[in-house]
Structure 1
Amino acid sequence: MLIPMALSFFLGEYTVVLDFIIGFAVSLILGYSLLVICKSSESLNWTQGMVVVALIWLIAAFLAAIPLFFSGHFRTFLDAYFDAMSGFATTGLSVIEDLDHLSFGHNLWRHLIMFMGGQGIVVFALSFFASGASAAFRLYIGEARDEQLLPNVINTARFIWSLSIIYFIIGSSVLAFIGMHSGMPVFNSIFDGACIFMAAFDTGGFTPHSQSILYYHNSLFELTTVVIMILGALNFKLHYEIWHGNRKELRKNIEVIAFLISLVLVFTAVCYYLKHAGVYSSKLSLFFKSFYQVISAHTGTGFQTIDPEMLRREWSDFGLLALLVAMGFGGGICSTTGGIKMLRVGIIFKGVLQDINRFLLPPSCVLVQKIHHVRDIVLEEKMVRTAFVITFAFIVLYILGAIVATFLGYPMLAALFESTSAAANVGLSCGITDAAMPALLKVTYILQMWAGRLEFISVFILLGFIIAFIKGK
């Protein structure tokens, strides 16, 4: 909170400074209290590590919501908590009111929590505060980080943050330059460039303005965000390989191949439908509008160059279904994006092919199916089963959120679209998410964003821990 506090002080937003002082004070008091109460000389076991991670995300969102609530742009603390969880989970759905008049300090805070959440709250802590604790790996895995880039998990966390900061310097500078070139004031260009980069690279979707990316009316600006979104959706392990000279991995990796195939199929389907529906008069508008929304959905970013109501009305059911598929799939494992993840999609597809081949070939044949993910990996039944279980859990989560919204009176397809956007941490909206939606739906989306971001395991273990505690075990 010190960074937005300092910015607010520099800009003379003194009431905003007070908001952050209160939030910072509560954070210190709560943090010190937990340190005293929970102090232990024993190392965390797997169960405790998972429980800690799940609770950290709930507590972090609570603390982040304090200065947001005092901004006066949220009706209730639940609304501020919704935006805080949306930020940390890199979702981008928002119930803020009058965003265009939000202070610079509060606006920066919204994007900073997204930047921390994208790399991971635990990854952030390991990068700057850990010094070799034996429980580090358990916390790292609990935050849905399936892969280590380096043998030491703390060095892995530091690489992720070092890379992100390098990208931040380059990406925000490019966006700021484009903003200045298009006539924006220097400070606004730098501020917006930094905020938009954090939201794009962390595939979050918050923007400093209520019109999202449509506010800028600049094709070069939009194209730059596309590049940043794709970088954010790539596995950090893939970034590591590329930075160390292994550029061939881009052509061979199953995640990249699956992502490109899925992207082309969804984009082609959307273009074909919108062309025959006569939604756009020019081919250029058709191409750019379709491509931007599809890439935003597939990377889990949630930037929009179409108004949510127009998206639902003009793209109709088929367009929403196509985007829904892209949102549900998501990007890479160990990236800033959410959803099922393309590695799992690729594994399931390869597993189905393996079963078909096994059925067609003689029983005496020994069938070995391989996938390439940094190295050649023999496809095992356990891998396929694990990928299927996580995929099934996501689909159930998408449907449960849709059932709640439908029960509250929203159309089924729109409800499923918004639910998928929340659970897959995307942020695209067809008009359901706003400050006026029922509190039950806000709580539902908060839980979906939380569970989807942590990919269920730590959440399930926390629930099991609570049930066992209630039963006295």
Structure 2
Amino acid sequence: MERVINIDDLKVVLYYTGRITIIVGLIMIIPLIAGILFTEWPAVIDFLFSIALSLVVGYLFMIIGRTHYIPRIFHAMTIAAFSWIIAMILAAVPYYLSGHMKSFLDACFDTMSGFTTTGLILIQDLEHVSVALNTWRHLVTYTGGQGIAVLALTFLITPSSYAYKIMIGEGKEQVLPNVKHTASQIWKVSNIYLLLGTIMLAIVAYKNGIRPQMAIMHGMWIFMSAWSTGGFAPYSQNILYYHSVAFYVISLVFAIIGSMNFATHYAIWSGNFKEIFKNIELKSFSITLTLTSFVAIAALGFGKIYKGASSLFNMVFFQMVSAHTTTGLSTIYSASFLREWNELALLAAITAMAIGGSASSTAGGFKGIRVGIIFKAIIREIRNFVAPENAVITSKIHHIRDIVLEDSLVKSAALIIVLYAVTYFLGALVGVAYGYPFIQSLFESVSAASNVGLSIGVTSVTMPTLLKVVYIFEMWIGRLEFISVLVFISFIFKLVSLRGLIWK
């Protein structure tokens, strides 16, 4: 059945995107305050201009889009995808004005990387970036981890039926009956951890010689990066800058917790501690992290590239956890992947990045729950083959509750995995077309599409413009898990189609 699109369809998309855009502008007040506190007046001016621009764009969208039209599910999908593009562009303005970006495209690359919690960067002279801009960089990834739309649902969008549609458009799971309460709980959990993580990391930073006020900023920045599985750090050495095992361990713990499903967080916080041992996502993560880490350690440790338990932890296991949680924090340089990691170890890292963390979390990848579903489906089929002909074999998975493993669930999981695999491969082909070796191109493509942020050296300001655009697209479509982006593209195509405004 065909659905006719009229002007109200476009209006409702603009109206709710405008509301989300206003939130982006309001969030900039935080780095503005940081700039004032640290007397960074050029950065203050940059953020004042960026805030004004964001608010103007947001209000214009709302004025143009004012309508009584009731949002439908395809509106929500379109709003979710479109708002990330607008947020990317507006969040890039203070980046570009800072003088640390070679082009506005590079600034957009970094903000899409931030909002999607990827962590790949093109910013220049990172050691001399202002406190205000560093705060903005990490705040972008912290906001993106929870979800831009989720933030808007918490403060601006009140009707529950509309809010629910926008939330699922962004790939989030409703934990509580009231969707606004769900969004609030997501931020409550994140902000409690933010306080705890900032204090812990700030203490370690202070003990390692960083002056108190900056120790607090470093603790907050790295926590935001770890919890949101974002991968940003205030220095080009990434987390290696701190040279502290305590700093590494705390960061890893919060990265693992951050990669967990928000529904799982809520279940545990509600006292259901058995969920830790029963949940299919946590089981899948434990198994695949163990297997991929063993392969990498065997390939590098047993080959005597890294010697000793401490070296294996700092140089290998940290990278594998970072890859699997799609955090992107790194204790080695990008060149080390190229010079020191052999192909077997790189394939282990690529596999970990591709799988990623849990659904409805800050993590990327095609998610552990889908790996668990496919594995359970394979076991079910094997049991069907060996069972008597009249036997009825059923399988269940446990995620908060027991769920019957139906064919539709298996097909859905398989479809998403295939879409990710195709995206990884096509992104790698673009890299190969520009002369990069396949293994390097695949590593970088998977890192972008799975929103990881580890780099083997392909990502740089000198890489071809098309490759930058491809990685931006991969980060975007990977973070929203395809459907919202595909609906958005189809929506735009139908609006400009010469055949008329028809939604199919």
Partners in 1 of 2:112 and 2:100 — Cα distance? 16
Answering whether residue 68 of structure 2 is matched by residue 41 of structure 1, we say yes
Cα deviation 1:90-123 (Å, max 9, x = unaligned) = 0000001110100110111000011110000000
**What's the C-alpha RMSD, in Å, of the aligned pairs?**
0.9
Answering whether residue 200 of structure 2 is matched by residue 174 of structure 1, we say yes
Partner AA of 2:40 in structure 1:
E
Q: What residue is the counterpart of 2:421 in the other structure?
A: 395
Cα deviation 1:424-454 (Å, max 9, x = unaligned) = 0000001111111111110000000000000
Trace 1:82-93 onto structure 2 (pairs within 5 A).
Answer: 82-93=109-120
Partners in 2 of 1:394 and 1:115 — Cα distance? 24
Answering whether residue 50 of structure 2 is matched by residue 30 of structure 1, we say no
Q: What residue is the counterpart of 1:95 in the other structure?
A: 122
Query: How many equivalent pairs are there?
Result: 472
Q: What residue is the counterpart of 2:219 in the other structure?
A: 193
2:256 aligns with one of 209, 230, 244: 230
Q: Do the aligned residues in 1 keep the contact of 2:164 with 2:174 (CA within 8 Å)?
A: no
**Matched residue of 2:402: which SS?**
strand
Deviation at 1:133, TM superposition (A): 4.4
Q: What residue is the counterpart of 1:81 in the other structure?
A: 108
Deviation at 1:32, TM superposition (A): 1.1
Partner AA of 2:138 in structure 1:
H
Partners in 1 of 2:53 and 2:114 — Cα distance? 20
Q: What residue is the counterpart of 2:315 in the other structure?
A: 289
Q: What residue is the counterpart of 1:339 in the other structure?
A: 365
Partners in 2 of 1:326 and 1:130 — Cα distance? 36
Unaligned runs of 5+ in 1: none
Q: What residue is the counterpart of 1:162 in the other structure?
A: 188
Q: Do the aligned residues in 1 keep the contact of 2:95 with 2:133 (CA within 8 Å)?
A: yes
Partners in 1 of 2:130 and 2:208 — Cα distance? 23
Q: What residue is the counterpart of 1:7 in the other structure?
A: 34
Partners in 1 of 2:123 and 2:464 — Cα distance? 14
Cα deviation 1:28-62 (Å, max 9, x = unaligned) = 11111101111111220111111111100000010
Deviation at 1:18, TM superposition (A): 0.8
2:412 aligns with one of 386, 400, 405: 386
Partner AA of 2:224 in structure 1:
M
Trace 1:31-430 onto structure 2 (pairs within 5 A).
Answer: 31-145=58-172, 147-430=173-456
1:18 aligns with one of 21, 37, 45: 45
Partner AA of 1:337 in structure 2:
A
Q: Do the aligned residues in 2 keep the contact of 1:271 with 1:287 (CA within 8 Å)?
A: no
Instruction: Please give the TM-score of this superposition, normalised by the length of structure 2.
Output: 0.93
Answering whether residue 471 of structure 2 is matched by residue 445 of structure 1, we say yes
**Matched residue of 1:455: which SS?**
coil
Partner AA of 1:171 in structure 2:
G
Deviation at 1:246, TM superposition (A): 0.6
Instruction: Please give the TM-score of this superposition, normalised by the length of structure 1.
Output: 0.98
Partners in 2 of 1:250 and 1:283 — Cα distance? 28
Cα deviation 1:305-344 (Å, max 9, x = unaligned) = 0111011210121111100000000011111001100001
Partners in 2 of 1:104 and 1:10 — Cα distance? 10
Partners in 1 of 2:490 and 2:155 — Cα distance? 31
**Matched residue of 1:372: which SS?**
strand
Partner AA of 1:234 in structure 2:
M
Q: Do the aligned residues in 1 keep the contact of 2:76 with 2:165 (CA within 8 Å)?
A: yes
Partner AA of 2:492 in structure 1:
I
Runs of 4 or more consecutive aligned structure 1 residues displaced over 3 Å after TM superposition: none
Unaligned runs of 5+ in 2: 1-27
Partners in 1 of 2:160 and 2:322 — Cα distance? 38
**Matched residue of 2:327: which SS?**
coil
Q: Do the aligned residues in 2 keep the contact of 1:49 with 1:142 (CA within 8 Å)?
A: yes
Deviation at 1:134, TM superposition (A): 2.6
Partners in 1 of 2:202 and 2:116 — Cα distance? 25
Q: Do the aligned residues in 2 keep the contact of 1:301 with 1:337 (CA within 8 Å)?
A: yes
Partner AA of 1:46 in structure 2:
I
Partners in 2 of 1:83 and 1:355 — Cα distance? 44
Partners in 2 of 1:323 and 1:207 — Cα distance? 21
**Matched residue of 1:359: which SS?**
helix
Partners in 1 of 2:157 and 2:496 — Cα distance? 33
Deviation at 1:421, TM superposition (A): 0.2
**Matched residue of 2:345: which SS?**
helix
Partners in 1 of 2:464 and 2:300 — Cα distance? 33
Partners in 2 of 1:141 and 1:209 — Cα distance? 35
